Structure 1
Amino acid sequence: MSRALRAELRRTNFSGREVTLAEGGLVVLGATALAARTRRASDVALLAGIGALGLVDDLWEPHQRRAGTPVSKGLRGHLGALRRGRLTTGAAKALGIPLLALAAAAAAPRPRGGAMVVADAALIAGCANLANLLDLRPGRALKAVLPAALLLASAPAASASGLSPSGSSPAGLSASEAAAREDSGRRLALAAAVPAALALPADLRERGMLGDAGANVLGAAVGTAVSRRLPAGARLSVLAVVVALTLASERVSFSAVIDDTPALRALDRLGRRRDPAAKER
């Protein structure tokens, strides 16, 4: 890696330590490569596209700050800038990620009519955004992504049992479609779990960070796995939780809530470097 590229990827984290965004770039590459195992171009395009949007946001925002350009924060801030006629990199993500999610949801095996396509797309985009909202402390987003991804990768198939005499699942999929949907969901869960597990040590030691690119991609991979492996009712329940947390983040600091909750605080700091002098936000 050239000196110029290393400098471009260098960041200072919440505790004042120098970290690199190369971790996030490697996570995007790993997750996208593993997503190719689903043999669905839409899954690869989903993660590659989200990773590209996140990387542009990661790299362009510091240039805006140095140029003195106002930088919008949060979904409300980016959409507000868009209403004023200014397209921020965050607004590009806010528009691009849902479109990529919709394409991936529409391309997945589904019953004729696809009533759940929009809900699945919202779930994918919401999980991508939520993982990024959690990525404010070392290891925090990875501690959320990794258990969920491992559970989704290892859980028994929900649609393999309960096929009707006609060979269709309760969701209206044929046996082969249900198997394809389950298999792609399991592979996408692994596409999140493997890079997350490999990134966790460096993230906890504050040598690297996911950035928007890495966090968004891992969240999208988990969200897509949820949309493929869970029945409709469970997916809608997960979507409701994701939406509630996203709306809450506009008014409440996740870091403050975690620090004020002993169990969450202990989990959040598990494995992290000790730094009593670090000022928690």
Structure 2
Amino acid sequence: MQYAIIGFVIAVMTGKFFLSQIYNILFDSNMLQENFKGEKIPIGMGLFFIPSLIIFSMFFQLHYNDTGINLILVGCILMAFVGYLDDSTVDKSNKGLKGHIKQLFKNKVTTGMLKALAGFGISLYISLSISNSLQEIIINTLLISLFTNFMNLWDLRPGRATKVFILIAIIGFFLSISYTQYYFALFICLSLIYIKGDLTAKYMLGDTGSNLLGIFLGICFAIDLAFYYKIALVVFLIVMHIFAEKVSFSKIIAKNKLLNKIDMMGR
């Protein structure tokens, strides 16, 4: 247990140190994108979570050796990398599922489509490693891949995706019956360190961060939840993705006083 606690403390301290360092790296390398106000700010700040995740996983392996630890680590890093490719692309015109499908019919694979294919492949690989039946493989693959893109649906205003993630991670922390509880606690702490600059529109998670946070949630819930709870969650995620293609979450939030107050909190 002492290794896990030491690793946790060092990981959080590492996060505090690397926040400004990664910001400077992205800014100096001109990894900038216009936000909803038209201001150019660093994108891809999801990289911030990776050093802490690596350090914590190293220490945690000394306390609890399980395949799932490596799956969380590798899954998050791979999806962050694929998201970073999407963040760094010049062409931002083909956004959304429809845009990527249109380009596919033109015999052109966008970085967004590559991200979707990679996300599905990584989700399937992870599912094969943690599932005991064909039904579990299917449900776990859907759960992880849908969660991977779920955070993208909220990354439209400063701090919104991070708030949604913190809320879900807190729920996951209390529902957890395994070592994932330690990971939920770590990511909640890191998100609280990160969120101030996100809320003030100093930087953006980008697909780098939203994909990383999304697949993290997907893997943890795939490990923790009972089969029928996973089915219910998959149905919910499918409905939310369909809903997002037809309506604007930003408009719905703006029209609801309570949701708008929560959304604007900290800005």
For normalisation by structure 1, the TM-score amounts to: 0.77
Query: Residue 121 in 1 paired to residue 121 in 2?
Result: no
Q: Which amino acid aligns with 2:85?
A: V
Larger radius of gyration: 1
Q: Which amino acid aligns with 2:81?
A: A
Partner of residue 92, structure 1: 114
Work out which of the residue numbers 157, 170, 186 in structure 2 matches 1:137.
157
Structure 1 residues 33 and 59, CA gap change in structure 2 (3 angstroms): farther
Residues 145 and 192 of structure 1 are in contact (CA less than 8 Å); yes or no, is this contact kept in structure 2?
no
Q: Which amino acid aligns with 1:220?
A: I
Work out which of the residue numbers 135, 158, 169 in structure 2 matches 1:149.
169
Higher helix residue share: 2
Q: Distance in 2 between matches of 1:200 and 1:210?
A: 10
Q: Distance in 2 between matches of 1:119 and 1:191?
A: 26
Task: Out of 43-52 and 75-84, give the one that drifted further.
Answer: 75-84
Residues 44 and 84 of structure 2 are in contact (CA less than 8 Å); yes or no, is this contact kept in structure 1?
no
Residues 31 and 43 of structure 2 are in contact (CA less than 8 Å); yes or no, is this contact kept in structure 1?
yes
Deviations 1:13-67 (A, max 9, x none): 112334222522213444455456465333322111100000000011xx236xx
Between the aligned residues of both structures, percent identity stands at 24
Residues 188 and 221 of structure 1 are in contact (CA less than 8 Å); yes or no, is this contact kept in structure 2?
no
Residues 27 and 42 of structure 2 are in contact (CA less than 8 Å); yes or no, is this contact kept in structure 1?
no
Partner of residue 195, structure 1: 190
Q: What secondary structure, in the 3-state scheme, does the structure 1 residue paired with 2:247 have?
A: coil
Q: What secondary structure, in the 3-state scheme, does the structure 2 residue paired with 1:208 have?
A: coil
Structure 2, unmatched stretches of 5+, are 1-20
Partner of residue 179, structure 1: none
Q: Which amino acid aligns with 1:140?
A: R
Deviation at 1:5, TM superposition (A): 5.5
Deviation at 1:154, TM superposition (A): 3.4
Deviation at 1:4, TM superposition (A): 8.3
Partner of residue 253, structure 1: 248
Q: What secondary structure, in the 3-state scheme, does the structure 2 residue paired with 1:250 have?
A: helix
Partner of residue 235, structure 2: 240
Q: Distance in 1 between matches of 2:94 and 2:51?
A: 28
Q: Distance in 2 between matches of 1:55 and 1:156?
A: 30
Deviation at 1:138, TM superposition (A): 0.8
Q: Which amino acid aligns with 1:6?
A: D
What is the root-mean-square deviation in Å for CA atoms of aligned residues?
2.3
Work out which of the residue numbers 67, 82, 89 in structure 2 matches 1:53.
82
Q: What secondary structure, in the 3-state scheme, does the structure 2 residue paired with 1:11 have?
A: strand
For normalisation by structure 2, the TM-score amounts to: 0.81
Kindly indicate whether structure 1 or structure 2 has the higher relative contact order, using CA contacts under 8 Å at least 6 residues apart.
1
Residues 80 and 208 of structure 2 are in contact (CA less than 8 Å); yes or no, is this contact kept in structure 1?
yes
Structure 1 residues 95 and 18, CA gap change in structure 2 (3 angstroms): same
Query: Residue 64 in 1 paired to residue 84 in 2?
Result: no
Deviation at 1:193, TM superposition (A): 2.3
Work out which of the residue numbers 123, 140, 145 in structure 2 matches 1:101.
123
Q: Distance in 2 between matches of 1:103 and 1:190?
A: 25
**Length, aligned pairs only:** 238
